[in-house]
Structure 1
Amino acid sequence: MVARCRRDGAIAGDWRAQLEAPRPVIRNPLAWCAWTLAALGATFMDRNPWLQGLLLLILVNVWLPYRRGRALHLRLGLMLGVIPVLFSVALSRFGEHLIVTLPAIPIVGGRWTWEAALFGASSGAALLLTVIAFGVLQSTVRSADLISLLPPLLYRAGTAFALSVAFAPKTVSSFHAIVEARQLRGQRSGWRSSPTILLPLLLTALEQALQYGESLDARGYGNRRRSRYRPISWAASDGIALLSAGIALLLTLAAHPASYNPYTNIVPSAPSILSVIALLLLAAPAAVAVIAREDHAADRD
C-alpha cells in the first residue's frame, strides 16, 4: 500500500512537472522545421570553431526552456562528440604540433598531434550540434504535428511509421516487465526460457496493436477526406521565427565559408560577418520566448 502511494505520488509529481513546464511560444511546426533546417545548414556548411562555439551557445539557449528536466540529447551529443576526437587522435599520424608519442602499440601507437585532435573536435562538434538541433525540434513539436505537414500521399505512410517507432519502446518495456515478473515468481531465466517469454510478449504486442487499430478507427483513419482536429494557426512569433530562419539559411548559403582544415592551418580564420549574422538570427526563438515571458509577467502585475 505504501509502495502504491509512493508510485501515485511520483506519477502525480510527474504530471505536475509536465503541467508546469513552459509551453513553446512558437507553436507552428513549420516554423520549428525551418529553424531546424537553418541550424543544420549552419552546422554542416561551416566548420569554423568560433562559429561552432557561437552556434552551440545559441542552440543551448533555445533548448533550455523546453528541456523539461531531460538531458538525454545533451548526453548523447557529448558522447557522439568525443568519439571522433578519440578516433582522429588515435588513427591519424599527420601534423606538426605534437601532443605525446606512444610506444609501438598496434593501431594507437605513434605520434598524437594537436591537428588530429582539432580535426576530430570539429567533426564531434558538428555531431553535437546536430543532436541538440533535433532535440529542440522533438521538445517543441509533437510527432502528430509533424505528420500533419506531410502531403496526402505520404500521410498514411508517415502515420504508420510514427506508430511503428512509438511501438518499439513499448515492446522493450513489456519485455522487461515480463522478465521481472518471472524473476519475482522464482522462475529461471536464460535462453531456455525464451519460448515462455516470447509468447506473452507476442500476446502483449498483439493487444497493443489492436488498441492502436481501435483508436485509429475511432479517429477516422483511412477515410478519403482528411480532417483536422486542430488546424495549424499562425501567430506573430511563428512568423518571426520562420522569417529569421529563412534569412539565416540564405545568409549561410551566400557566405561561402572557407572550410577549416587544421592540418594546413591550425589557427582558424576570423568568421565572416554574414555567418555571424546568420547565427544570431537563429536566436530568434529564445528572444521571442524571453519577450513573451516578460509581457505575460507585466500583464499579471
Structure 2
Amino acid sequence: MNDSLHAQGARFRLPRPLHPLAWASWLAAIVMLLTLTRNPLYLGMTLGAIALVRWRWVSAADEAEQVLSLSPWRFGLIVVTTAAIFNMAMVRVGMTVIFTLPAWIPLFGGAWTLEALLYGALNGLALTGLFAGFTVINRVVPVRALLRLIPRAFYPVAVVISIAVTFAPTTLQQIQQIREAQAVRGHRLRGVRSWLPLAVPLLEGGLERSLQLAEAMVARGFASGSERTERWPQLLVLAGFATVVVGWLLQLVWKQPMWGGGLLVVGAATLLFGLWRAGRHHPHTVYRPEVWRTRDWLVTAGALLVMAAYLLPVFDRNTIFYYPYPALSWPGFDWRIGMAMLGLLTPALG
C-alpha cells in the first residue's frame, strides 16, 4: 500500500514550471499541426502527445477544481460524433455507400458514404486536439503570464484582454458565493421565480466591480494619451505583415516555395522588429520576472522542430494531406516527420 501511495505521489509531483513563451511555442506547434493535417496517423500522434503532457502537468486536484464541466474527452466524444454525422449527411461524395435515402427528401436524400463519415470524424479529432491543447495552457499558465507575452506596443489591448478573460471566472465565483449565502438563509432554487434573489445581487456586484475597475484604471492613467514620436515602427509592422501574406500566397497559391519562404522569413523579421521598436515607447517593470531555463530551450526547440518538419520542403509533405475521397485509402506516413513530432513530448520530460 505504501508503494502504491508513493507511486501516486510521484505521478502528481508536478515538474518545475516552464516559461510562458515556451508554452506558447508548444501551443503554436499544436495549432499549426492540427490546422494543416488530416492524416489520421499524425492526428493520433498529436492527440497522444497532448494527453501525455496533460497527464504529466495537470494533477488530480486541478482536475477536481476545474471550472469547465466539459473535459476534453467528453468534448471529443461530442464533437467527433457530431462532425462525422453532419459531414456524412451533407456530403454526397464517396464510393463506399453505407445506405441511401430517397432523393425526394430535401437536404438529406441521397447516398451516405463511409468516406464522408471518416473525413468528418477527422475534422472532429482536429477540433478535439485544439480544445485539449488550450485546456492544458489554461491549467498550467496563469493568465497574467500569458498577457505579458503581448508586445508592449499593444499594452491597452493586453489590459482589455485581461479584463475579458477574467470576467467569466469572476462571475462564476460570485454566483457560487451568492448561492452559498442564499442557502444559509434557507433559500432553495426550485423554479424561475426563485432565481430572482440570485440575479439581483449578481447584477449589483457586477456593476460595483465595473465602477471600481474604471476608477482604478483612471487613477493609474490608463490610455492617458501619450505623444507619438515615431511613425515608422507602425509602418514596419504593416509592411512586415503584408510581406508575410504575400509570401504565404506565393507558397500556397502560386507554388513558389523559394520566393515564398524568403518573403515569409523577411516579413516575420520585419514584423518582430517593428513590434519591438514600437514597444520601446512603453517601458514597464516586472515585480517578479520569468526565468528562462534549459528546459525552456528544450521545449522551444521541440516545437520549432515540429513546425520546420511541416513547413519546410525537406521531407515528404504529401503525407501531411490526407483526403479519403473518392475511395478510402491507407494514409501515408513519413517516419522522419513522425520522429520530428516527438518534439511535442518535451514538456512531459523531467
TM-score (norm 1): 0.75
Structure 1 counterpart of 2:311: 253
Structure 1 counterpart of 2:116: 116
For 1:50 and 1:100, locate their aligned partners in 2 and report how far apart those are by CA, in whole Å.
27
For 2:222 and 2:120, locate their aligned partners in 1 and report how far apart those are by CA, in whole Å.
48
Residue 50 to residue 192, structure 1, CA distance change in 2 (3 Å): closer
> Which sits farther off after the overlay, 157-166 or 167-176?
167-176
Deviations along 1:72-124, whole A, 9 cap, x unmatched? Answer: 23322332222210101122222111223345654334422111111101211
> Which sits farther off after the overlay, 62-71 or 235-244?
62-71
Q: Tell me if 1:45 matches 2:36.
A: yes
Q: Is the 8 A contact 2:58 2:140 kept in 1?
A: no
Residue 215 to residue 261, structure 1, CA distance change in 2 (3 Å): same
Q: Is the 8 A contact 2:27 2:134 kept in 1?
A: yes
Structure 1 counterpart of 2:91: 92
Q: Is the 8 A contact 2:40 2:331 kept in 1?
A: no
Deviations along 1:169-206, whole A, 9 cap, x unmatched? Answer: 43355457668849955899648986x76543332113
Q: Tell me if 1:244 matches 2:302.
A: yes
Any stretches of 5+ residues in structure 2 without a counterpart?
1-10, 64-69, 224-281
For 2:74 and 2:190, locate their aligned partners in 1 and report how far apart those are by CA, in whole Å.
36
Structure 1 counterpart of 2:45: 54
Q: Tell me if 1:280 matches 2:342.
A: yes
For 1:240 and 1:137, locate their aligned partners in 2 and report how far apart those are by CA, in whole Å.
17
TM-superposed CA distance for 1:22, in Å, is 4.0
Matches within 5 A, 1:207-246: 207-209=208-210, 212=213, 222=222, 225-246=283-304
For 1:168 and 1:126, locate their aligned partners in 2 and report how far apart those are by CA, in whole Å.
26
Q: Is the 8 A contact 1:48 1:268 kept in 2?
A: no
**Equivalent residue of 1:86, what SS?**
helix
Structure 2 counterpart of 1:134: 134
Residue 265 to residue 253, structure 1, CA distance change in 2 (3 Å): farther
Task: For 2:347, give the aligned amino acid.
Answer: P
Identity %: 29
For 2:88 and 2:122, locate their aligned partners in 1 and report how far apart those are by CA, in whole Å.
12
TM-superposed CA distance for 1:217, in Å, is 9.2
Deviations along 1:6-48, whole A, 9 cap, x unmatched? Answer: xxxxxxxxxxxxxx95444351011111111112211122211
Q: Tell me if 1:202 matches 2:203.
A: yes
Say which of 259, 262, 273 aligns to 2:324. Answer: 262
> Which sits farther off after the overlay, 66-75 or 56-65?
66-75
TM-score (norm 2): 0.65
TM-superposed CA distance for 1:274, in Å, is 3.4
> Which sits farther off after the overlay, 55-64 or 90-99?
90-99
Any stretches of 5+ residues in structure 1 without a counterpart?
1-19, 293-301
RMSD: 3.5
Size of the aligned set, in residue pairs, is 268
Say which of 29, 32, 54 aligns to 1:63. Answer: 54
Q: Is the 8 A contact 2:309 2:337 kept in 1?
A: yes
For 2:189 and 2:286, locate their aligned partners in 1 and report how far apart those are by CA, in whole Å.
50
Residue 275 to residue 145, structure 1, CA distance change in 2 (3 Å): same
**Equivalent residue of 2:325, what SS?**
coil
**Equivalent residue of 2:111, what SS?**
strand
Residue 100 to residue 56, structure 1, CA distance change in 2 (3 Å): same
For 2:218 and 2:299, locate their aligned partners in 1 and report how far apart those are by CA, in whole Å.
36
Q: Is the 8 A contact 2:95 2:326 kept in 1?
A: no
For 2:13 and 2:210, locate their aligned partners in 1 and report how far apart those are by CA, in whole Å.
33
